Structures are given as structure tokens and as C-alpha cells.
Structure 1
């Protein structure tokens, strides 16, 4: 890492902050500062309380009985032996579910506990509660389930064959998205060069730090309190309460410490099970998955098969894109209907393409369920389109960056959905920035980490080939397709120990991305008060939406800013009444109300709120979007777009198939860097996750639907030894529709890092390498044939 470069011209032109009622500089730790995370010290010293650390007096431990089969009928469940184990308090099956038997993010198709059949390996069948986790696990192994095993549907392409057995009664198609733009018949006649590529992407796990866990505590009113790691508390509540047979006001969720998420905590996991047991036993129940169970307890990134066809004129102008995407959604819908939509929206990439035909299919199989993961479908299509752009450049005899620059999206570019980009779109500038960076050293140095194979010392320096690859990604920010995107914040200004103090209360999930820090920064900026506390997120305040779609900073900023400005308005009115000065002539600065013209203090804020704290709640919405037409895919589906470009430099030992990423440079437009240090971390983290997808990360599922590597011994993720220097260039082009000009940050780096690395490998080896992640055999065997 060589540090952030603020690359959007003069800082004064892009960083000036409109402070509403505040005058003068904001307190330290305001918007735009490298603010210290309130949870940072606790986390690095190991004292932060994650959801798995929670305890309650009298609690019991629970575990799940899961199916070993991917497809089977259940003939009988016998809990007799399990119930007889000393220390076991309850064994529950589907017959004990008190309310709705199914739940789901978009479609309620997922059983709380399997009834007459299982559709994937690891599907929950029964629950056990006992005095300790060891007893619970031992008893779970004594639950006797009689299965009639079936042949599973594991091939996504075969799932679309009418002759294939249906995973669900309605068929195996989750959703088909069609986008037709321009005149494809004429475009084919105009294209001088046409290239076609088939690309495959494996199933990636979110690999978050903390496995699923939660603590359910029965309440005196017959309801239940659930403390759980989550990305969206109110969506959890919406699914959870019907399954418990309770009204929503009797089910209260609080966010427990979240050890990472990346989409894997959008769906329910321990939620219903822990609450069912707590209500049945009348005592607290704790559930904590181990890492093995976690692989079966959350969704993964959809595996994909994609065909891309690009047509261009001889001078490199894109004429058309024809793409077909097939995503394997696994056994249940989860968010597959919107993941395939998102993948299809951006199948033409960050380019102006006058004609496009895009068909995206998501299907059911008996493989593990797939759903949200960082990038949300756009990762798959970015990999396909960016790989095919390099194929097109080769066919044209053109530099890959020049081809991209010639077709780069700009403000005003019309997407295949017919929507014009109305915000900043500095695609060409991002590409030029990474292209023009100095290249890293020549690779002649020999050290423990300097060659492919690292400390294994398996590579001879004279065999190494170097390659350079580029890619750029585009993704929508926030909910799309007509979904009502909302965020709520409650802000209270009061007096504590003679000082003004602010409390911010939202349901925004802090998953490690720093939204808690941003909320405090906004309160300091808007109210001029240093003492800010962000309360625990829970469902006692209105919905904040999901910590996904790179939306949380934007949406929470709008909600907290709006509530703060309402609070400030009331405080200034009080000061105006006391001083006889018009409220418009006053401002909040440094914990005091001052006259704007002179800076003269009128009253300490603490005095104005001592006996009567000011509390305001604000609901923020961005401008509406619309659903795309089901036949043509046309519609203004998005609120905003974010862009990131990468240049990857790799060294490859083609004989052994070993790879070392020498450097992974990134350039991204973030709108406004609310917390520059956190922005840096988001870009680095997204880039490393993309590196993992390029080179090592894949959930291996065999043809019987069984996961072969459900552990971090066998599922490989990048370590510090795999992470190269990552020089960053951060552009700040304020978005016209957002609070402070902010834009999404966390997902775009994951889009472009994977194809940049694969394109660099192709450059080094001359091989097609149509599959991600790359395995050593893909290179070594291919090089032997080359």
C-alpha cells in the first residue's frame, strides 16, 4: 500500500462541505476526517464483544441437526434417543414450529425445519438444546432421521431441461431477465470484428471472521429478545415474527457484534431456531455455529456460466454485446431474483454500447443455496465482459486499455436498460490513472516472497513470465428496480455533566465497514458537538435497510443528517427566543450557539437542552427508481453508479502453474471520502476478496451436491503473504443526489480486481484461462500444450 492519492483536481473544489446550521470548522472527527473507530481499540486488543461472546444467566446451548444428503425424502424423525441424553432440555422438529413453516428474503420458500424432504446438504432438520454445546452436539448425533435418497439436480444448465426433475414444484427457473436495446440485426451487419468467449466462475464463500451466532431471551410479555449478528434487522424481523406466530412488536432484535458479513448475513440463520427454543423452554438460548456448520448456514456467491459476444468496428468502436448469463441459485430463492437482475444490468460493462441483447437466468439446483455476496451479481458479469474485452482487443490488434478508453462510459451514456447515466462517470480517468502508474520492479530480486511459490522455494527465477492486465467495473449503488430505499435515524441532543451530548440511534448494521463512525462524524459536523454516542442498532427505531448494495453510508448519512438538522433548528429557535436574535443569524459551533456575523457566544448548547432534551427522527429516501420492463428490460432502474479500475501485475511460473501477484493498483471514484482511512480499507478489502476469487477461493461441490471443503484448511483465502502492494488513487467527484456528495465504495473494487488478475495471467501465458478461480493445473497443463 502506498497511500491514498486524492486525484480529483483541487481539493477545495471537491471537498467543500455545506454544514447546514454549523458555522466555522466542525469538531475533530467530523466529515472528511480520518476519524477513529469507536470499536477499533477493542477489536485490535481482542476485547470487542462479538455475538458469539454473549451470555445470559440460565442460558442453554443449542445446535442443529442437518441433512447429510442434497436431495431426499424424509420418512420419519425419531428423537427418542436424543431426548434421553442427560442435560438435554428440548429436541424440536418441524412439528414444533409455532407459526409459518417457511421464510425467505424474496420468496418464503425455505423451511424453518425440513418437513417431508430436504433440498441441499446441510438443510436443518431438527434442533437440540442442552446444558452445554458438547452435550447438544452429542445428542444431535442421536436424532434418527430416515431418508429416501434421491438423485440430486446439480448441473445448472441441465436444470433448465424440461425433462430434469423439479427442485421445487413450480420448476427450476428462479427468474429470467431479458434486456434488449437497439437493433441487434443491423448491429451484426455493421460489426467488422466479432469475438465470442465462454467463461465460468466458481462458488465463493464470504469467509467472514465470525460464524453465525445469536442469543435469544424470552420476554415477560410472551415475546422474545434476539441479539444477533445481522446485516438487516428489520428484514430479519419481517421473516422471523410470522415463523414464531408473534406480532412484530413482541419480537425485538438488537445487533450483536458482527464479525464481517459481505452478504452472508442477509438471510436468516440461527434466528428462528434460537427463538423457538427460548420460547419453548422459557429461558435464554445461545446458538453458535462452528466453521464447518457455517459453510452450510449461509448463502454463497452464485457460480456462473457465461457466454459473451462482442462486435466492433475495425477502429475499436463497440457495436453490440450479446450475453447470456446462467447463475446457479442452489436449493432456495434467497436473493437470486435480484442477483441475476443486477448481473444482467451490467453485462455490457462500463462502456457505451449502442446495441445489446442480454439474457440472464437464475436456476434452482440441489447445490447449496446462493444469494448475496459483495458485488451482488455484477462480479460475475464484470469478469465475463472484461475477459471478452481483452479477447476483442487481441482480435483487433489493439492495446486493451486503448480499446477500453475508446468506449468508456461517461456522464450521459445510455445503458442497455435505456437509462442515461446522470452522475459522474470518470471511467477514462480511472483507467489512465492505473495505466500511467510506474511499473513495479523487474522481478530480478530473489527473496522468500518474491517469486511464485513463495517460501516453498519451488520456482527458478529464469522461468518466470510477467504479465499485466486491466479491468474496470461499474455497479449500481442502493436498491434498484423500483424498490423503496429507506433509512431512519433518531438523534437526541441533551446535557451530560455540564456538556452537550448527542445520541444517534439507527438500525444500521455495523459489519466492519465503519457506518457507526460515519454517523458520529455527521453528528459532530452538523451539531458542532464533540461528545457523540451511537447507540446499539435495534428494531426499536425505524428501518435502516440492509448493509449491502454499497448503500449504507449514503442512506444513513441522509437519515442522520436530516435528524441533526431538525435538532439544530429547534436549538437555534430556543437560542433565538432567549437572545432576541433571529434564528437565521445564529449557528452551532463548538458546543455553543454563536452569532454568525461576529462569532459572539449567545448560549452554551448544554444550557439550552438541560431541562428539555431535543429529539428528532428523520426518514430519508432517495429519488424513486422503477422496475425494468419484463419483456425488454428497459427502465430507469438505478439511483447512482460507482466505478473502479485495476491494473494487475503478475509473475507466473508456467511450468508449475504458480502465480504471484506483484502489484494490484486501483483507482476509484468515491464521491466524497467521509472517512478517508476507512475508504482506503474498503478498497483494499474489496481488492483482496477479488484476488481470492481469481486465484484460490472456491467452494467445491461434487456431482452429488456435497461440499468437499467446508473448512479454512481446504477452502483457501488470501493471507498477508498473498497480498501485494496496492497503490490507490481516490477520486472525489461529488454525486449530485447524495448527502455530502458521497457514493458507494465497498463493492466496485471486487468487480474489477478479479478480471484484472486473470487478464494479467492471460498476458503472461498466452492461454485462454476461461475459468475463475485459476488452478495451477490450468496454467501448467495449458502451457505444456501451448
Structure 2
């Protein structure tokens, strides 16, 4: 800078690279691919103990006695805790309803429920000691379905549920979700009817009526990094928990009362997360690790093995869905009636919110003025179910899309044209009475996905013989093409974005800009859980766009900054991205004010022009550079912490279901191409083409990855993924990746993606949450293609070989 203090240069500005709309690489990508990324299970602390959980071996039983003496006498064991050892009167937790005991008390309600915890100086010692704990059970009848749950003489899963504490919801509904009065039986967690128009009158106008009963299996999130965490006691009597989670502040809210600590003494830092998909929204070992650390005075690490992981987190709700649709002979939908029964398992988790989504989105992306809808979630002795990608809308989409194909077939109409004829658009009124006030390009997405080139026929054939990898059965080499039939199917879905039903959905971001090593550097600090969705990339892109600073540091997520909410509901880019954008805008104004005070007298543009930050410089909107950012910030820094909220929503009426419950909708359409060996019942998905509206692709590479990932999870539940629970004992039969199958690279088809960008004027940059929508429509598209190939009705998922060969 010249001696007189004037800015150095007057040149033309340039855009900062790596901003919004560019495909920037993830900072953690290479580390994860090479195995160098530090996951929560890799954490280590000097003098660390290992925690181990003893789980129930039965699904429903009274606990007659627990004998821990032999475990306590084991050399190397520092502590053994049961329910009676908990330090405070608060001994339950929960996302919406605090019905989950920290450790089982009185009875166990599901297979694998935590009964006791052990801390020892070696993980094998902890496992052996836990196995020495003697629990005497008196088994009780199990509740496994609606019939057993709502029978007049049904055993109650939760006695005295009117007395259960109620806490803030996580995904839908205000705090204190009612747990009695609006449900017809104590074994029903939540009920949401939606009634609009006059179904009986509309039914008389229908020329064709189709009905269907559908079964949706229990899916596991199957994230690759099992639950793990490290709790470290601190000198002030508090505890610092390093944890793989989806919502740091929600965890802390539930943990602190059980420990008897104020929230500011429960410090939490996000550890490396190996995927989530909803399975980390509930607590797993968080409280257990903290209890053991505070009891022993030593750091305690807990890492679930894969077997434990299947018991240690919630799953996707299995469902029974009963649908009726009517249509006129020219293809217009007249009415819809449905009843959706979701199995919430032993504890509430997010079931009330899942019911809200399933009911309010049960019509799908179609115009139907007359509807009669009911959705419920049950308490049973099956494994607890809660959040998973798609969150209630997945189950509904499977059923209503099958219904669309049935109607089209009965009417002799093309299934895509039939859907387009009834497709919703901007301005359509949802069955809840809420108008859709942003683009809803359902017909266009269907047109685009249908227009995509079809994959070649008989790809397995080559001059050198059949390539078995391209055939049903793959490398099992069960067929060389005999009896293989191709099928094509379509589906489209609608998913809400963000927390709904009156939840105060906000996020917080702290942005700081300063000079480090002679360069302007920005730091972003949020509590957003990076679970693989790529938020760390987007936040840096927003800062580069808004502040023109190339070097951006992402501060580790922790509770030393305000809440960012959960990494779920496709909301983080929308809400935390909005908070980062807002904070940047305030930082920019402060930086410009600083520049005006320092250099305003040297150039009139400081006072008269629209000023921007680009390429590390202050520029006018015409591109004239007024100063380097380094000169403006010399000796100073600027920091802002800012919250951002989306538009308010409201709860659905518990009688009619009316209300402006959602803030934004996301749409995706799929075309599935499958080949089926009809003799062996084997399916090969050749292609899953997708068209999706994303509003604005902030990082196109990440957008494609999210769509392809969600599509693959939908494929999994279509043809292979299901947690099998014995209906007589409610015991899980396949808690491992040996028996619970997920798609591998050999199962994953080609997934071409057509991205549409129609901006939502209410959202930052016009963006639309994208992560969940492709999980909806991929499943019914695959089922539709298999039906097309086989002519079978196939009303359950996943489809198994016995369903295709008639041996089920």
C-alpha cells in the first residue's frame, strides 16, 4: 500500500473460482477413497476404556432379576451399570415422545434392547464381562401387527403412556405432540386423517375403480460406518462427547437431563460419520458412553460391531397400505381413499412425523380433489422404526404408483400419458388445502425421462459368448439368456423438504473473514453434521460466491455455535446454506463499511456504486477494482453469527388434516429397464434413468451423486433389502450383511440423470432439497418394470425369486 494509505490498484475485477454452480470436489473425497479419513471409530484417547452394551435376547418380557456380580469381578472391568444405577430421576429420552428408557427397566420391549453397560480396559474384556451378566426374563406375548396391537384384550406395549414426558419434535409437528385422545387405542402412537371433498359423490362419477393392498418391508439404513463415539470427562464435572450423529444439539438436549448436567457442560463435537440416512437421528450409545465416562473418570469409547448396529438404530417403517382410486373413461382421476398402517416398533422415535408425511403425501404428485386418507403408526414389539431417507413418502409412493399403473391398464392408456394427464403443477392445491406455490414440473419430468435413449437389447451377448455379469443372477452363472424377458416401468414421486407441521426450523452459521499469511481467508462454523451429503463443499462455495474469498476453512461442527438442526429432510443446503449466505451478506456489509472508512475519500465509487467482493478484491458492479481485500482487512477481522429460518408452517388439523404443513416440495421421475429370468425368478436392473428438478444445482457433481445414491437405495428395497422379523417371536432373523443384502457395484445399473433447474423464489439461490426424492420413485419404477416383464401383480417389496416363480 502506498505511504498515503490509498488502495493499491485500480484494475478490472474477476470472478472467484469454486463458487455456486460449479462442480467442486469434496475436501474429504480422496481421504475416504484411500481409507485415510478418520471416522469416529478411529478415535483414540490416552488411558481410554471400552464400553459394551448387553442387549435383550427376547422381544417382550418382564425382567425378574439382573445379577452383575460376576461381571464386576472380572479383572479389567471398571464399571457395570443398570437402570438402577442411573444418576438422576430422568431415565428416559426420545425425539418427540420421551418413551425410551436409557436402560431397560421392569421389562424389555424389543429384541436387542439395551439392558446393561460395561466399561473395561480392553474391548474383549468388556464383551466377556457383559456376557457374564445374568438376566432372568419372564417372557410375555408379543405384539407384532395391527390385529394384535389393537385387539380389545391387547397387551399394552407402554402402560400408562399418558404419563410419558413429551419433548420437542425433530422433523414434524410442534413440541409436545399429543399422545392420547386423538388415537383410538393406546398401542397407536399417532393417527392423522385427511379429508377433503366428497369421496362418495366422486366415486359415483368414476367409470373405473381399482383397489390394492400393498406391503412394504422394513429397510435398514445400512450405513457403512457403525455407531461409535468417545466420551471424555472434563475437569469442571462436565463431559465432551465426540460422536457420529445427525443432530448435535438434539443429542445434547436428550443427554444432559439424564446426566444431571446443564447443557453447557455437555460439549459435543462431530466425529467422522460413515453415512446416516436417518439412522443416526436417534440416540444410540451417546448416553451410555457419557454415563460410563462420568462414573469411571476416564475416557470411554464405544464402537458397535455390525451385529449390534442392526439393533442399535431405528429402521424404515414397514407398512401395510390399502388404496382405492377412481377415474373417468377419458383418464381423469375422480377420487382416492387410502389407509396406511406403519409399524413404529417398540418406541415412538419419529413415528408421529412419519405419519404426517405419509398421510399428507399419500395422493402423490397428482390432482385429486376428493380424498379420504388415514395414516397411523403402531407400537409393537418389533424393532423401533424412525427416520430413513424419504421418511413416510417412500411407502406411500410405492402404493400410489402401482395404482396408477393399474388404472392406466384398465383404461387402455399409456402409463406415462395417464400420469401426465393428472399431474399436479404450480398452483395445485394439496389434499391438506395447501397450494403449491413453486414450480411442480411433474409432467415435464415424465416427458424427459421417457425421452431418454433406451439401453440396447440383449447386452449380455458378445462374439465371445454371454457376459454373465449382464444377466439376471450375475456371476452366479445361472443362465445364459434362456427365458429372460425385458420390462420397462415408470414412476414419479413427491417429497416435502425441511421440517414441517409448525416446527421452528432454523439453522445457525458463524462466518469470519481475516488475513492469514498475507491472504484473505474465510472460516465457516456451523453445527451441521456432514454425513456424506457434501454440505462442507456447498458452504465453501457459498462463501466464495458471496465474499469473493478463495481460501475457505470449514470449522469442525460442534455445540459451540448455535444449532443447525438435523442433517435430514433434505434441508441442510436449504437451511444451513441459507444461514451461511445470510451471515456472508452481513460480513460483506461490514467489510465494505470498513473499506469506506479507510478508503472512501480516494474514489467516489465507494459512496456511489454497488460494491461487490470478487477475487479477493472490492469491485464495483461494473467490474472496477477499488481495493484488495487484504488492504481493507489489514490488522482487523470481521465475524458474524446469524440464524436463518424458512417460511413458517402449521400443524395439520387432527380431524381433517387441513393445514399449510410443508415448506417446499421436491419431484423426481424414474424409468426402470429390467431383465427377468422368469424360470428362476432372478432380476437384473439394466438401467434406472432419472429426471429431477433441483431448483438450482449449487454443485452439479454432488447433485448427480445424491440422485444416483438415492436411486440405488430405492433399488435395494425393490429387489433385495428387508429386515426379516419372526412374526411369532418378534426376533430379528438377519442382523448382518451376510443375510441382509444391499446393492453392490455389480447390482447397480446405469443411472443417467437429467437435471432440471426451475428456481423456487422462496429458497436461497432458488435451490430445492434433492437427497430424498429419487429414493421414492426408483422403487415403484423397478416394480412396474418387473410387472411389465412378467404380468404378475407384485404388491409387496422387496420382490424375491419365489414371488416371480409362484413358489412363495
User: Residue 719 of structure 1 aligns with which residue?
Assistant: 744
Distance 1:57 1:350, change over 3 A: same
User: Residue 456 of structure 2 aligns with which residue?
Assistant: 441
3-state SS of the aligned residue for 1:489? strand
2:723 matches 1:699 = yes
User: Residue 511 of structure 1 aligns with which residue?
Assistant: 531
Report how far residue 388 of structure 1 moved: 1.0
Report how far residue 585 of structure 1 moved: 4.0
3-state SS of the aligned residue for 1:138? helix
User: Residue 244 of structure 2 aligns with which residue?
Assistant: 229
1:409 is matched with which residue: 424, 427, 441?
A: 424
Report how far residue 24 of structure 1 moved: 6.0
Q: Is the 8 A contact 1:152 1:705 kept in 2?
A: yes
2:131 matches 1:131 = no
2:804 matches 1:779 = yes
Q: Distance in 1 between matches of 2:145 and 2:317?
A: 13
2:721 matches 1:731 = no
User: Residue 569 of structure 1 aligns with which residue?
Assistant: 589
User: Residue 592 of structure 1 aligns with which residue?
Assistant: 617
Report how far residue 612 of structure 1 moved: 2.3
User: Residue 654 of structure 1 aligns with which residue?
Assistant: 678
Report how far residue 770 of structure 1 moved: 0.8
3-state SS of the aligned residue for 2:806? helix
Q: Deviations over 1:545-564 (max 9, x none)?
A: 11000001111111000001
Q: Is the 8 A contact 2:617 2:625 kept in 1?
A: no
Q: Deviations over 1:247-273 (max 9, x none)?
A: 001001110000000000000011000
2:137 matches 1:122 = no
User: Residue 140 of structure 2 aligns with which residue?
Assistant: 150
Report how far residue 466 of structure 1 moved: 0.9
Distance 1:771 1:595, change over 3 A: closer
2:693 is matched with which residue: 653, 663, 669?
A: 669
2:665 is matched with which residue: 630, 633, 641?
A: 641
Q: Distance in 1 between matches of 2:94 and 2:476?
A: 46
Q: Is the 8 A contact 1:495 1:607 kept in 2?
A: no
Q: Distance in 2 between matches of 1:578 and 1:612?
A: 12
2:504 matches 1:484 = yes
Q: Distance in 2 between matches of 1:262 and 1:198?
A: 27
Q: Deviations over 1:499-547 (max 9, x none)?
A: 1110100001100000011001101110000110010101110010110
User: Residue 106 of structure 1 aligns with which residue?
Assistant: 96
User: Residue 459 of structure 1 aligns with which residue?
Assistant: 479
TM-score by length of 2: 0.93
Quick check: 254-263 or 573-582, which moved more?
A: 573-582
Q: Distance in 2 between matches of 1:535 and 1:25?
A: 27
User: Residue 11 of structure 1 aligns with which residue?
Assistant: none
TM-score by length of 1: 0.95
Q: Distance in 1 between matches of 2:206 and 2:798?
A: 32
User: Residue 4 of structure 2 aligns with which residue?
Assistant: none
Q: Distance in 2 between matches of 1:630 and 1:108?
A: 21
2:20 matches 1:31 = yes
**Count of residues in Structure 1 that have an aligned counterpart in Structure 2:** 760
Unaligned runs of at least 5 residues, structure 2: 1-11, 162-185, 601-605
Q: Distance in 2 between matches of 1:441 and 1:595?
A: 54
CA RMSD of aligned residues (A): 1.2
User: Residue 3 of structure 1 aligns with which residue?
Assistant: none
User: Residue 189 of structure 2 aligns with which residue?
Assistant: 174
User: Residue 64 of structure 2 aligns with which residue?
Assistant: 75
Report how far residue 583 of structure 1 moved: 7.3
Q: Is the 8 A contact 1:312 1:318 kept in 2?
A: yes
User: Residue 197 of structure 1 aligns with which residue?
Assistant: 212
User: Residue 51 of structure 2 aligns with which residue?
Assistant: 62
Report how far residue 200 of structure 1 moved: 0.1
Q: Distance in 1 between matches of 2:35 and 2:656?
A: 53
Quick check: 139-148 or 453-462, which moved more?
A: 453-462
Q: Distance in 2 between matches of 1:347 and 1:569?
A: 45
Q: Is the 8 A contact 2:472 2:676 kept in 1?
A: yes
Q: Distance in 2 between matches of 1:97 and 1:212?
A: 22
Q: Is the 8 A contact 2:240 2:267 kept in 1?
A: yes
Q: Distance in 2 between matches of 1:564 and 1:583?
A: 22
User: Residue 223 of structure 2 aligns with which residue?
Assistant: 208
